[in-house]
Amino acid sequence: MSRTVFCQHLKKDAPGLDFQPYPGELGKKIFNEISKEAWAKWMSKQIMLINENKLNMMNQEHRAYLEQQMEAYLFQGEDIKIEGYKPVQK
């Protein structure tokens, strides 16, 4: 049986994550307050941020930037602006 959380990103009850996806206190907060759906959306944004900005995860500043963007997206409702990304026109 999956657990349900009130997702701070989606502002509704939704299925919670199966495990803590990030270390430390922030990871606990994500586990307790973010849904699987919101986390999946963040993962897509994260991949685009890493690729378009050519972030190096060995670089402490790049990791700090990505964590800041993650918190803003998941908990503050900010949309992530990705330089150079142009959505496919349908």
**C-alpha span between 70 and 77 (Å, rounded):** 10
Burial of 58 (0-12, 13-18, 19+ CB in 10 A): exposed
Least confident range of 36-45, 58-67, 74-83: 74-83
Phi, psi values for residue 12, rounded to 5°: -160, 165
pTM: 0.86
Fold annotation for 4-76: YggX-like (1.10.3880)
What confidence tens digit (pLDDT) does each residue in 30-40 have?
A: 999 999 999 99
Domain range summary for the chain, segments of one domain joined by +: 4-76
Q: What is the average per-residue pLDDT within 70-90?
A: 82
84 has pLDDT over 90: no
pLDDT more than 90, % of the chain:
80
Is pLDDT of 85 > 70? no
